[in-house]
């Protein structure tokens, strides 16, 4: 639809501009004195309103001959011819309208008074139509720029979603591969434990698929998923694996991406507990500090283990997901001393009512 006709406020402003031009034209005709003010207004106002709508047709001319795909010579010739033709038709209508006014109201001026306005209308019609063309080209350029900007934003969103889905697709089979390896190892040494682990894995996958279909889940649900994962690992490690989990009440309802925490606890098990004969305790904390959410996973490591670079698949996936979801607002800090390895993740806290 025509951009001016589509918005009532813009159309009103457009007609006010043309009405003002009609008053100026009427004043030019009435100043010499040969035409009465009433006659000038009766002639000019209807003609200018008519030409206002005729000039709207230049929008379709602009769309048929866009600036970026039409050479300048063709552009000039086309628009000048359209302006001359529109002006000629306008003068023809003005002649008929002036004759009609003279017939119904002879007192408006001397015989043929309206003909004094025809040269002015002819020249003004060309200029006004070309001005309308210029305005419509500006509107078309603005709309094209806005459309390009919107398309670029949509492409960014699609690219980010594709990246996040790819990262989640990497996480799920990675965990499943490790779990199936553990079950395979237990089948020969402890069949009952293997059966228990299989049931726990099935429950975890059911919850994971249920939550995974959501864009976000609450932090409490994410902690529940992590607890199910650690129950699976506890079957394999027994008393070597202990878990201490804390979550603030204010943080429970905050929204997080599904399976954001799971790679961190998986890393704590595979690179921490698995390397210790005596095992140890994994500490998981969730807290809200102002408008930010902090999640910390801490685990014991071998005393002689070198500093971790934090470039493993699980940690790198978490880092990239944070970057994709929150940009520079999402952070992951890694700290290690002689006996402990800690990962602290923090990002803007989204309340339960936020449906991102």
| Structural domain range at position 199 | 190-348
**Helix 72-104 crosses helix 37-55 at what angle (to 10 degrees)?**
150
What is d(CA 230, CA 61) in angstroms, rounded to the nearest whole number? 68
Q: Are 203 and 228 in contact (CB under 8 A)?
A: yes
Listed in sequence order, the residues at least 6 apart from 29 whose beta carbon sits closer than 8 Å to its beta carbon are: 35, 39, 40, 43, 44, 116, 117, 120
For residues 333 and 198, state if they share a domain: yes
Select from 127, 151, 175 the last residue of a domain.
Answer: 151
Stated pTM of the model: 0.53
In what helix (H) or strand (E) does residue 237 lie, and over which residues does it extend?
A: helix 219-237
Over residues 134-185, the pLDDT tens digits come to: 988 888 888 888 888 887 777 666 555 555 555 455 555 656 777 788 788 8
For residues 127 and 195, state if they share a domain: no
Over residues 192-238, the pLDDT tens digits come to: 888 888 888 888 878 877 776 677 889 999 999 889 889 888 887 88
For residues 198 and 280, state if they share a domain: yes
Structure tokens at 162: 């594709």
What is d(CA 258, CA 218) in angstroms, rounded to the nearest whole number? 9
**Residue 335 phi, psi (nearest 5):** -135, 145
The secondary structure of 53-102 as a DSSP string is: HHHTTHHHHHHHS-GGGS-HHHHHHHHHHHHHHHHHHHHHHHHHHHHHHH
Listed in sequence order, the residues at least 6 apart from 322 whose beta carbon sits closer than 8 Å to its beta carbon are: 260, 330, 331, 332, 345, 347
**Can you tell me which residue has the tokens 């001016």?**
4
For residues 84 and 33, state if they share a domain: yes
With a cut of 60, say whether residue 306 has pLDDT above it.
no
Q: What is the pLDDT of residue 311?
A: 45
Q: What is the pLDDT of residue 240?
A: 92
Listed in sequence order, the residues at least 6 apart from 153 whose beta carbon sits closer than 8 Å to its beta carbon are: none
Q: Residue 248: inside a domain, yes or no?
A: yes
For residues 323 and 196, state if they share a domain: yes
């Amino acid at each position: 639809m025509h951009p001016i006709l589509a918005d009532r406020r813009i159309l009103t402003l457009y007609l006010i501009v043309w009405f003002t031009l009609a008053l100026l034209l009427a004043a030019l005709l009435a100043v010499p004195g040969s035409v009465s003010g009433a006659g000038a207004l009766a002639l000019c106002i209807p003609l200018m309103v008519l030409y206002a709508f005729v000039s709207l047709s230049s929008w379709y001319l602009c769309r048929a001959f866009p600036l970026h795909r039409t050479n300048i010579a063709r552009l000039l010739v086309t628009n000048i011819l359209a302006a001359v033709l529109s002006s000629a038709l306008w003068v023809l209508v003005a002649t008929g309208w002036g004759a009609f006014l003279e017939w119904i109201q002879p007192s408006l001026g001397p015989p043929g008074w309206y003909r004094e306005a025809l040269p002015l209308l002819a020249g003004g019609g060309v200029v006004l139509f070309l001005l309308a063309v210029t305005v419509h080209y500006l509107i078309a350029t603005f709309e094209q720029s806005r459309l390009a900007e919107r398309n670029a934003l949509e492409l960014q969103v699609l690219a980010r979603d594709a990246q996040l889905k790819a990262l989640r697709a990497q996480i799920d089979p990675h965990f499943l591969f490790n779990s199936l390896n553990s079950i395979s190892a237990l089948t020969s040494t402890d069949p009952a434990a293997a059966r228990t682990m299989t049931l726990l894995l099935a429950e975890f996958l059911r919850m994971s698929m249920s939550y995974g279909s959501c864009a976000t889940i609450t932090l409490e649900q994410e902690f529940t998923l992590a607890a199910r994962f650690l129950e699976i690992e506890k079957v394999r490690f027994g008393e070597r694996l202990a878990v201490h989990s804390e979550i603030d009440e204010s943080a429970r309802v905050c929204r997080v991406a599904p399976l954001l925490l799971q790679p961190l606890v998986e890393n704590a098990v595979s690179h921490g507990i698995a390397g210790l004969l005596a095992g140890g305790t994994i500490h998981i904390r969730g807290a809200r500090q102002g408008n930010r959410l902090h999640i910390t996973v801490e685990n014991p490591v071998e005393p002689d283990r070198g500093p971790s670079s934090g470039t493993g698949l699980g940690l790198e996936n978490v880092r990239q997901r944070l970057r994709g979801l929150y940009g520079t607002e999402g952070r992951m800090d890694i700290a290690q001393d002689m006996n402990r390895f800690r990962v602290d993740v923090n990002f803007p806290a989204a309340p339960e009512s936020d449906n991102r």
